[in-house]
Structure 1
Amino acid sequence: MLNEGRIVMKCIVGLGNPGRKYKKTRHNIGFMVIDELLKRNAWGPLKKDKFQGKHVIEHLHGDKVVLLQPQTYMNLSGQSVKPLIDFYEIDPGDVLVIYDDLDLPTGRIRLRQKGGHGGHNGIRSLIDHLGTKEFKRLRIGVGRPTNAVPVVDYVLGTFPKSEEEAVSESIENAVHACERWLEKPFLEVMNEFNS
């Protein structure tokens, strides 16, 4: 897509924590979506880079897209995203961030054009570093703890077997939503996946 003579590049960021011990945790569902997106499109692999993350540039429908997994730990995600989008001259409005959401039931996804951080430290870091709330979000429900488990332990815990099917479905829907966004206006994608 051309904009004032230059190619517009989009960026899809999956939030999570680096390291094997966090791999399958609720907080890493953003990483899981990026992994599935790479697998389904035979893209990648992600490479470690100077942006404190792992990223790869790919093409879909003639558009360039950067896929990024920050390696800074969740609450410092902005330290990875900001230098990457500055380097590639990507407008924050062309960034889609995928992350876990306690306020959505497990298995549900929700897209938003912009908004506050809602208590999510990864999103808080992005708003702080980008200096704007004007980036797109894809929230994936992980539900809230139903017992006395502290929220920090809950999001750093893995999904129980009983939720595996719902989690797989939400990852698949999120991948579809990302792919659609690379060919359609975001509002259309929101209407399709939020209904």
Structure 2
Amino acid sequence: MAEAEAEIHTEGRRKLVVGLGNPGMEGTRHSVGMAVLGAFAARLGGADCWRSDRHVSGEVILLEVQQTRVVLLRPRLLMNVNGVSVAKAAGKYGIKPEDILLVHDEMDKPLGKIALKHGGSARGHNGVRSCVDCLQADVMLRLRVGIGRPSGKTSVDRHVLSRFTSEEQKVLESVLVQSVDLLISQLSQSDSPQDSRPASSPAGGRQAAQRREGWS
């Protein structure tokens, strides 16, 4: 309990990075945000450091990127209620909506394309809509990871809940690297979101972030 209190009440700038998805369906297109967070944790040597936290209905890792303290969150609730977990984590760690970054799938972009979006409409994404509703804000930064639209007569539901093909997996590997580079670059910035710009892999990216077991 003392450790949890120390984590909650530490001083300094904090960010919350969330991989939206469905628990138990991490390999599907709809849960690609979770894949990005998994790759992010692995890059920083924390792949085995996820711990379940019933108070936030999810799994978390505490990190430090440059001077920024970062909470990684994988909700353990279904996509359409992911926002409940995000709001709980934001409350526990004292993180404002403008310091939350959501990583999620985006059908309007083809596989292989990623982009940052500063706030705005959920544009039909149920996970993002849940976050907007539960946080009562739409200012969260979003890393949109393209998964493309369904082909032929495939329904949207079937498409987003399907797994990537072997050929798509090759593209996804590159997407995960680019996404992690972009996250590290974004989290390393000390100024406002308006100062963000397209990121390339930062020099010493692996050294720029340090895993933390607890904050004190």
| Same-fold status (TM-score > 0.5) | yes
1:23 aligns with 26
Q: Return the alpha-carbon distance in structure 2 between the equivalents of residues 80 and 47 of structure 1.
A: 14
Q: 1:64 aligns with which of 69, 85, 108?
A: 69
2:115 aligns with 110
Q: Return the alpha-carbon distance in structure 1 between the equivalents of residues 49 and 198 of structure 2.
A: 31
TM-score, normalised via structure 2 length: 0.82
2:49 aligns with 45
1:3 aligns with none
Q: 2:18 aligns with which of 5, 13, 19?
A: 13
State the secondary structure of the residue aligned to 1:56: strand
1:153 aligns with 158
Q: Return the alpha-carbon distance in structure 2 between the equivalents of residues 56 and 191 of structure 1.
A: 26
Q: Return the alpha-carbon distance in structure 2 between the equivalents of residues 85 and 107 of structure 1.
A: 30
Give every structure 1 segment of 4 or more consecutive aligned residues whose post-TM-superposition deviation is greater than 3 Å: 185-193
Uncovered stretches (5+) of structure 1, i.e. residues with no partner: 1-5
Cα RMSD for the two superposed structures: 1.6
Q: Return the alpha-carbon distance in structure 1 between the equivalents of residues 15 and 106 of structure 2.
A: 23
Deviation at 1:45, TM superposition (A): 1.2
Q: Is the 8 A contact 1:112 1:138 kept in 2?
A: yes
Deviation at 1:192, TM superposition (A): 3.6
Q: Which region of structure 1 is more displaced relative to structure 2, 134-143 or 162-171?
A: 162-171
The number of residue pairs the alignment matches comes to: 187
2:100 aligns with 95
- The C-alpha deviation readout for 1:144-171, integer Å capped at 9, x for no partner, is 0111111001000011122222211111
Identical columns (%): 32
2:142 aligns with 137
Deviation at 1:190, TM superposition (A): 3.5
Tell me whether 1:191 sits opposite 2:194 in the alignment.
no
Deviation at 1:188, TM superposition (A): 4.6
2:126 aligns with 121
State the secondary structure of the residue aligned to 1:77: helix
State the secondary structure of the residue aligned to 2:185: helix
Q: Is the 8 A contact 1:177 1:189 kept in 2?
A: no
